[in-house]
Structure 1
Amino acid sequence: MTHFDLLLIGTGSGNMFLDDRFSGLNVAIAEEWHFGGTCLNVGCIPTKMFVYPATIAEQAADATDYNLSTEFNSVDWSALQKRIFDRVDAIEAGGRDYRSGDRQPNVTVVAEHVHFTGAKTVRTASGQDITADRIVIAAGASPVIPAAEGLEPQLVDTEGYPVFTSNSIMRIPAKPERLVIIGSGIIAMEFAHVFAGFGTEVTVIARGPRLLGNIDEEVSQEFTDLFERTHTVHRGAEVASYSFDDDQVSVTLKASGRLGDVDLPSQIDADAVLIATGRTPNTKGLNVVDAGFDVLDDARLSVDSRQRVLAHGQPVPGVFALGDISSPHQLKHVANHEADVVGDNLTVDVAAGEPGAAAEADLREVNHHAVPGAVFTSPQVAYVGITEEEARQAGHATSVKVQKYSDVAYGWAMADDPGIVKLIADKSTHQILGAHIVGHEASMIVQPLIQAMAFGQRADEVAKRQYWIHPALPEVVENALLGLELDGD
């Protein structure tokens, strides 16, 4: 049995806080997969490096609204992959080398899977037992693969099997001519945009009545209406079975029950299927129940406001968690914030002596207020705060304003491209409760609203006490703010 002062499980955002503050500790890092985690290797970074050229391709293929005669001919798929993954893989290798090499002699990399056998004990896949005084669990999440007749889950993401998840779809050797995407959330919509933009015939299978169904209902419906103008979508459907014939995969559909009776094709043939039905925290694979840790109904590891892992509702001394394995937000910027909090609290915990000896007042609390998100599809979607329905259920006297992109001058420049900004505010306090945007550069123009919510700025002050560049696109946000009906106006 090998003992360490600190054991870190996972090298995504969990790898960020391990700096000079911990150079005096004997540290082990357990990583069975790629250094850098989901975001670097199969998530945020490579997907956006595909999204941007796909957006350019889409614009080239459909520019007649702007009185242009342009076209999109093809994508050099292998060259695009090389440009993206030469950079990504170099960063991954550099991170691994840094932690494994002579520059950090106090760090030992355990390059295999581990699982808990006790609160402070793990066992490696090769059978080695490791104990540690303090542990940080940052093992992320994995794709959900719904069961269906004919599907062999253990073959998904393996060579020669034409069913993929986001873990492998970007590295397929050739762009599929026909792709079925199962799912209607963020991952599904972004990949639908990528492959459709590059000329693939994409079919989306959605269980619910709308796409991006977890966001504000009105905004979700707006996105669904716009997306269905240019994409094939079967809503209220789910896969009944898979069949495979040479290089082709076929799916049969059935009604999901969430949209009543729906007219569905008998069979859809494709070169590949992408399963994008969400991600689940990796708690089961770690056997966290054997450690006595609390697990929530959605499989997340239970933590308190200081990111301490809980057992029977109480913090386990010296055990912290962060990121997708425990966070209510599967977002890289949230995981980074949580890693910052864990780093500070771990420093205080070490300085206190015994694990768990730090005073509560000396520990930072995590801030999950005004958490924003964005979907880099076509059109873009961005959101922060609560939905209109959530605001009403919470008892707010709400004011709601929906502003069209086409109402401002930059919208005219875009030939009245569709898009809306929806704001929800409290009439009496003038506080912005939620902002939801569908349209061009939504991920950028939402930022003033994120800032306003983060710092408690009133909607009327944000609208009137600063300059808004004319005729820039953020004027649609300004006009939405000005359109809110607030007490005292």
Structure 2
Amino acid sequence: MRQHDLVVIGAGSGNAVIDDSFAGLDVAIVEEKWFGGTCLNAGCIPSKMLAYTAQVARTVAAAGTYDVDAQLRAVRWRAMRDRVFGRVDAERDEGRRGRRESDYVTVYEGRARFTGPRELRIDLADGPVDIGARQIVIAAGGRPSVPGPVADSSLPYETSDTVMRIDAPPRRLAVLGGGYIAAELAEVFDAAGSSVVIVEKENRLLGPQDEAVAERFTELARARYDLRLGREVTAVTGRAGAIRLTLDDASTIGADMLLVAVGRVPNSDRLNLGVAGVDTHDDGRIVVDAHQRTTAEGVFALGDICTPLPLRHVANREAKVVAHNLRHPDALIAADHELVPAAVFTRPQVASIGATEQDCRDRGLDPLVGEARYEDVAYGWAMEDTTGFCKVLAERGTGRLLGAHLMGPQAATLIQPLVLAMTLGIDASTLARSPYWIHPAPTELVEKALLDLGL
């Protein structure tokens, strides 16, 4: 059995653990599917490239709002897809080549599973190989969750792993799920000409968002899509290209294609973790401490397989923590997940950080609430936006920012001053009054919401 100093299982954010500071060690990377992980190959990067194209299409279609005569003839799906994945696949292949050419990194392309403490069997194309390691990092990610009625039907369906690479958009698309993945992909296919129906078991879309955002977003989505909220699928029948969904209220939906976007599950069940002494939570996430150490000596974990926040920027931060802790076992650092911003790249965009208003109620807090609408600031007039807003929550007395939530153009960018303030401990009054806010930039929306707190 070959022994390595370090083995990393997963070449998404796990690939970021290894840099030249490990050059004196015998390192191995095991990757079953994609170098670059879900984010590069089937997640945040291609979906945002497609979403930006959808935004361009929407802008052309709405040009009359700005007294511009323009006509949207078509979104050339196959050309768009090939442009996006031509770049994505080149990045993936470059990452694979870079690791193969490293004189201190061995690449195993296959599925790994534990056979004992810090021992692995890897199923390669030409047969299994057994290896051991002094230290192991588990970064094997997750995969789309598939509801029982869909899996049991034996009928074809797409997930976020596959749907962006299809040859043509369907005429009728049924989407299961109402979270950010479902919302972003519905946006893309709607812009590409598909008729979209969304089935979501909750009573509104983007449920984890602040209630004001979720309610407004759902209201806007209802004008574009056929929404079946508070409903679940009980059966999937028909045939390829002619799918029929039966819901729990006995209603039915016909579709040419079914997209399952109800969430993701960690790949921990594929690793035989029990024999390695690696514990998991009830939902399958690997148990880690603040330093990303698992319950097994010498084994770390990072990313979607262990974090409650399955976001690439979280996984990348955890990769930096793991890299440091591998090299400096006597000076460990911790991963801080208290203030993690996130965005949904739809139209309108959504961005958030910190507590929602419903979180505050659950904690018995009575925060100050400040709000401003895009139509309250000059640049919002330029954009003719009448639906977007910024909402900030602050602690009474201290002005400490508790949360921030935006919905509207450039929300993912506009939230960053609030991210910085909350991370660095800048109170709402100081943030509103100390720096200059460019007039008439979109950031005046944030300034106006902060001033609305009345501090």
Same fold at TM > 0.5:
yes
Name 2:293's counterpart in structure 1: 308
Which amino acid in the other structure matches residue 146 of structure 2?
I
3-state DSSP of counterpart to 1:237: coil
Query: In structure 2, what is the Cα distance between the partners aligned to 1:42 and 1:190?
Result: 13
Query: In structure 2, what is the Cα distance between the partners aligned to 1:40 and 1:150?
Result: 26
Query: In structure 1, what is the Cα distance between the partners aligned to 2:226 and 2:68?
Result: 26
2:391 to 422, 426, 437: 422
Given the two structures, how large is their TM-score scaled by the length of structure 2? 0.96
Which amino acid in the other structure matches residue 87 of structure 1?
R
Query: In structure 1, what is the Cα distance between the partners aligned to 2:57 and 2:6?
Result: 48
Name 1:292's counterpart in structure 2: 277
Verify: 1:108 aligned to 2:77, yes or no: no
Query: In structure 2, what is the Cα distance between the partners aligned to 1:306 and 1:141?
Result: 21
Name 1:259's counterpart in structure 2: none
Verify: 1:41 aligned to 2:41, yes or no: yes
Verify: 1:165 aligned to 2:145, yes or no: no
Verify: 1:448 aligned to 2:446, yes or no: no
Confirm or deny: 8 A CA contact 2:153 2:237 kept in the other structure: no
1:254 to 242, 245, 248: 248
Name 1:224's counterpart in structure 2: 218
Matching of residues 313-324 of structure 1 within 5 Å: 316-324=296-304
Name 1:271's counterpart in structure 2: 256
Q: CA deviation at 1:30?
A: 0.8
Which amino acid in the other structure matches residue 12 of structure 1?
G
Q: CA deviation at 1:270?
A: 1.6
1:476 to 440, 445, 449: 445
Q: CA deviation at 1:485?
A: 3.4
Confirm or deny: 8 A CA contact 2:205 2:218 kept in the other structure: yes
Query: In structure 1, what is the Cα distance between the partners aligned to 2:408 and 2:118?
Result: 48
Deviations 1:399-423 (CA, angstroms, capped at 9, x unpaired): 0122211111122222243111111
Matching of residues 15-34 of structure 1 within 5 Å: 15-34=15-34
Moved more, 184-193 or 230-239: 230-239
Confirm or deny: 8 A CA contact 2:171 2:193 kept in the other structure: yes
Q: CA deviation at 1:54?
A: 0.6
Name 1:188's counterpart in structure 2: 182
Confirm or deny: 8 A CA contact 2:371 2:450 kept in the other structure: no
Q: CA deviation at 1:178?
A: 1.2
Which amino acid in the other structure matches residue 36 of structure 1?
G
Confirm or deny: 8 A CA contact 1:185 1:212 kept in the other structure: yes
Name 1:372's counterpart in structure 2: 341
Query: In structure 2, what is the Cα distance between the partners aligned to 1:287 and 1:280?
Result: 16
3-state DSSP of counterpart to 2:48: helix
Which amino acid in the other structure matches residue 175 of structure 1?
P
Query: In structure 1, what is the Cα distance between the partners aligned to 2:41 and 2:232?
Result: 29
Which amino acid in the other structure matches residue 268 of structure 1?
I
Verify: 1:123 aligned to 2:124, yes or no: no
Cα 1:82–1:305 shift into 2, 3 Å? same
Name 1:336's counterpart in structure 2: 316
Verify: 1:413 aligned to 2:382, yes or no: yes
Q: CA deviation at 1:129?
A: 2.1
Which amino acid in the other structure matches residue 147 of structure 1?
G
Confirm or deny: 8 A CA contact 1:369 1:454 kept in the other structure: no
Verify: 1:347 aligned to 2:327, yes or no: yes
Matching of residues 201-216 of structure 1 within 5 Å: 201-216=195-210
Confirm or deny: 8 A CA contact 1:178 1:202 kept in the other structure: yes
Confirm or deny: 8 A CA contact 1:150 1:243 kept in the other structure: no
Confirm or deny: 8 A CA contact 1:120 1:134 kept in the other structure: yes
Name 2:86's counterpart in structure 1: 86
Given the two structures, how large is their TM-score scaled by the length of structure 1? 0.89
Confirm or deny: 8 A CA contact 2:266 2:306 kept in the other structure: yes
Confirm or deny: 8 A CA contact 1:35 1:95 kept in the other structure: yes
Cα 1:52–1:242 shift into 2, 3 Å? same
Deviations 1:308-367 (CA, angstroms, capped at 9, x unpaired): 112xxxxx332111111111211111111110111111011xxxxxxxxx33xx111112
Q: Unmatched 5+ residue regions in structure 1?
A: 156-160, 256-263, 311-315, 349-357
Cα 1:236–1:410 shift into 2, 3 Å? same
Deviations 1:206-233 (CA, angstroms, capped at 9, x unpaired): 1101100011122211111112122221
Name 1:144's counterpart in structure 2: 145
Confirm or deny: 8 A CA contact 1:283 1:299 kept in the other structure: yes
Which amino acid in the other structure matches residue 189 of structure 1?
A
Q: CA deviation at 1:466?
A: 0.7
Verify: 1:435 aligned to 2:433, yes or no: no
Which amino acid in the other structure matches residue 292 of structure 2?
Q
Cα 1:368–1:246 shift into 2, 3 Å? closer
Deviations 1:358-399 (CA, angstroms, capped at 9, x unpaired): 33xx11111213200000011110000011122233344410
Query: In structure 2, what is the Cα distance between the partners aligned to 1:152 and 1:346?
Result: 46
Confirm or deny: 8 A CA contact 2:143 2:267 kept in the other structure: yes
Name 1:281's counterpart in structure 2: 266
Query: In structure 2, what is the Cα distance between the partners aligned to 1:254 and 1:59?
Result: 38
After the TM superposition, list the runs of 4 or more consecutive aligned residues in structure 1 that deviate by more than 6 angstroms.
none
Confirm or deny: 8 A CA contact 2:75 2:191 kept in the other structure: no
Confirm or deny: 8 A CA contact 1:216 1:436 kept in the other structure: yes
3-state DSSP of counterpart to 2:133: strand
Query: In structure 1, what is the Cα distance between the partners aligned to 2:21 and 2:382?
Result: 52
3-state DSSP of counterpart to 2:149: coil
Q: CA deviation at 1:240?
A: 1.6
Confirm or deny: 8 A CA contact 2:8 2:137 kept in the other structure: yes
Which amino acid in the other structure matches residue 409 of structure 1?
A
**Paired residues, what number?**
452
Query: In structure 2, what is the Cα distance between the partners aligned to 1:292 and 1:168?
Result: 34
Query: In structure 1, what is the Cα distance between the partners aligned to 2:226 and 2:241?
Result: 22
Deviations 1:126-167 (CA, angstroms, capped at 9, x unpaired): 4322211100011111100011067446x7xxxxx3x10000
Confirm or deny: 8 A CA contact 2:153 2:235 kept in the other structure: no
Query: In structure 1, what is the Cα distance between the partners aligned to 2:308 and 2:282?
Result: 12
Confirm or deny: 8 A CA contact 1:31 1:111 kept in the other structure: yes
Query: In structure 2, what is the Cα distance between the partners aligned to 1:398 and 1:477?
Result: 17
3-state DSSP of counterpart to 2:290: coil
